[in-house]
A and B are shown apart, each in its own frame.
Chain A
């Protein structure tokens, strides 16, 4: 009988006490700014830029993708809005991932660019040789026409002894150059094709974000409709 009035009193007074507790606002200015999350007082996982908290010391564990978890305590002052500035450092895994990715992209770029440039150069070279070959062919055709219409035996002799043999030699030389450039272009094109196919199968580095796994331990995520427990599990699929 004596407990019932006390219980009633506590029930009546506690909300009033809670309402009367002083709160302060904490504005979170955290780099990267758009997608950071934090766990408040080791219990509540939240993703917002401003929190209203009761006065006193509160524990925060901040995290964002690709960044390190930063644990810190913040003292919230009642009836005041305080700016909390923090730059989350990049995680070592992410830095390593960036290095591996850069190495991978450089390797792939080199494997694709050099043979491609060689192929284009080969095509250009072939084009130049085709033009050269055509010119020598035209010279020989002119020689043939000149022979047919020439009425000067001396000129005909010069044509047959010097001009035509020289142009024949030029044609052979141009043909050799043409075949060389064609062979070079064909090899370069083949290597380009092969390296494109092969580099397409190269495994792209992936980010193993251990900080995320650590951060996503079992936490309570409050929402407007109550809240839920959030648990993270990591299954290593790579052998």
Chain B
């Protein structure tokens, strides 16, 4: 009788432990859309360069890449230009690259251009790594 009681007590205590995984607090993986930590991509700088002899200029966005991103996966970047709506996808990014340059081919000096920069890894875009950046085109 005593050993039965002991066995049952042990089993009850064993079963009492809260072992369900709390999905709400599951956000430590940077590839998780719910991740709240540092982003894989960042805007290091934005510069403008003249295109030939005319008034046309090119705006370059220098995007820094987290080494963890380039080490783990194939990925692509999508540049969505909001001021003059346009979308460009950058998929052939060299393995191990630490930065990438995104281009807006035609800008007018003195005008502010706003961009959304998305990171796509595997089958979907990582919403939490989206960058929203605006910059005035100037030399």
B residues bordering A, Cβ < 8 Å? Answer: 1, 4-5, 7-8, 11-12, 14-15, 19-21, 23, 26, 28-29, 31-34, 72-73, 121-124, 126
Against B, the Cβ 8 Å flags (1 = close, 0 = not) of A148-192 are 101111111100100011011001100100110010011001000
The answer to whether residues A168 and B20 also contact, given A182-B11, A185-B8 and a CB cut-off of 8 A, is yes
Give min CB distance, A130 to chain B, whole Å. Answer: 6
Residues from chain B with Cβ under 8 Å of A147 in the complex: 26, 29, 32
Residues from chain B with Cβ under 8 Å of A165 in the complex: 23
Residues from chain B with Cβ under 8 Å of A171 in the complex: 19-20
Main secondary structure of the interface of B (DSSP, over half): loop
Interface residues of A in 114-160 (CB under 8 A from B): 119, 123, 126, 130, 133, 137, 140, 143-144, 147-148, 150-157, 160
Q: Tally A-B pairs: CB < 8 A.
A: 84
Chain A interface extent, by class: 20 to 34
Neighbour of A140 across the interface among B5, B19, B34, B123, CB < 8 A: B19
Neighbour of A133 across the interface among B1, B4, B15, B33, CB < 8 A: B15
Contact status A186-B21, CB under 8 Å: no
Q: List 11 A-B contacts (CB under 8 A).
A: A130-B14, A147-B26, A153-B121, A154-B122, A156-B29, A157-B124, A164-B21, A175-B15, A185-B8, A186-B5, A186-B8
Give min CB distance, A143 to chain B, whole Å. Answer: 6
Please give me the 9 A-B residue pairs with the lowest Cβ-Cβ distance, nearest first. A154-B123, A152-B122, A151-B72, A168-B20, A189-B4, A178-B15, A156-B32, A151-B31, A151-B73
Cα A155 to Cα B29 with chains together (Å): 12
